[in-house]
Structure 1
């Protein structure tokens, strides 16, 4: 029995060594937008598109922050009122007048949701259609719960222009105030980075692509090149689907050589990082709210595959639960080889998680809780699959998206 337990622990330890050494340094938090300079050499035209469904409570802070961006170029905000019942449009109009920006805000009344579209993407599509009349160089796609740092747009534009990027996105700082938020929200970011290592996302030679929907700056030409938002109209995880479409897209780049013109095809260039200043105000005060947030799309993330789900249900306990279990068993059995190996594995995962915990300014003790946190996320993933099988998957804002091929 000791040999079997030690074998599982050595496998878990090997996986952690591989993740830390060869998986895109996913655990680091050094890919941050705030490291970008904000001095602009040119001022492209930017239009922001904000889908809003019953967001009147948050708009006084979030919409105000967007209208008060210190971007010196042409900037307009298109808020799409997605059939709200809480006077979202009236609140938005009042906020624009209060900050002296009534001409900068354009409110669009959302049309009925057509078959096959997700609600958010249909709202974004309508916003982009209206904003296109201004011939913008870039679209800023953002959510109605995001409070933008005053220099956020300048940094996004600077990043895009400086590195010739088609898409720049930041995972904004999620709210992390209640106990459950401190326990589970940093881990949400940690697991996202493990799925999509930011360094690999930002490498044009690596096929991995991802974005964070709270703040995406996309070049108009890139959006047109992929065929517009309608190419991902069914996507529940729309931000990553958009990033993947942009990165896969091919564009022709002129290169002069010996006075001849050559067209060199290249992939779309994207960048994803963290933001310490732009933040989401969406509260997750209870386990139930976080559980629903994760369960809404976890099975979608697994491509609705029972085999991948089975692998997840086996792999997560192996990677995260084996080390602490071996520490306990090793002490009880007085087998110090098992106990020491288990402790080493536990310390490695704590080391990997600590930068995220520090980024969110949480106690170091939460880093030691990663095995229990991972167990909760495994249960959420299982529940996500069960909800999908029961026809209750993808519920959001009063809508339920049950069929990945007919959203």
Structure 2
């Protein structure tokens, strides 16, 4: 089904091969840890817009979080400035993302096994493939005016026949990761107000109230870092992982390695490593005397050589967003017209990609000073 929809040449779904390694090397060059600080200004500007949108129209917070993630990706990959008041490219990414959410889970459609008479997967695939192709084609329609990942590799890709795949990259996967983590953090702030209060206290001490957090503050904000890690663990964006497996069963140093598919959700909710795994608890990742730290949730990004190469960019986008919204805004449970509290659910969508189930919340500026900071757009 992945091939029918048009995702077959996306690096995340390719078979391990020389072709895949070529893509991986090119991507790693621009999104490795030493390279991603170049994108800090883009992420800071996008976060400033996010704060303004959340304050102006809080009911549309899910749309704003998606817009924030999409704007960072489109700027870094294509040097394209997303329209903050609504953008066709972000809409296309959302539509293509939905197709990936539904078809990415192995076995979700009978075509993953064999032809099955009467199945409707072909008509669904045709519809979703159009969304994927529109996203790829329209994103390259304009001339490049600024350096970007694609523009700097355009000559190379023409020479080695990789232009089509360079267009695809991992836009959807990285956008989804940022969106899922930020929405999970917002949901946690509502369900666990004491966590929000502790995060805000740390930010007040380190950053103060006259500016927004920046990446230089990150080493001094361990609790914000722990919230990011716990959001990754609590709801991994790709809970069942990308459907790769060992090519063949093997034995390594006496260990039998079957040809299986990794299950990120099961790994990150194993009670032996993460006691009370369904509870959102950033303290898991805070070092204390005599306390054993719980494992960093790296499985949220895949395994081994197939681990997501865009994870550093996605994590940075999520970190600056979480730090900034906690510094300037307060999140609480929504109240209906009769004054009754609307209890949000701590459940998540199923499918290849996972996000919090739709919920409502109240979003307000923490103070008049925070409101001025949001409206001024100071970085």
TM-score band, normalised by the shorter chain? under 0.3
Higher relative contact order (CA 8 A, sep 6+): 2
TM-score (norm 2): 0.24
Greater strand share, structure number: 1
Q: Which structure shows the bigger proportion of residues in helix conformation?
A: 2
Q: Please identify the structure whose Cα radius of gyration is greater.
A: 1
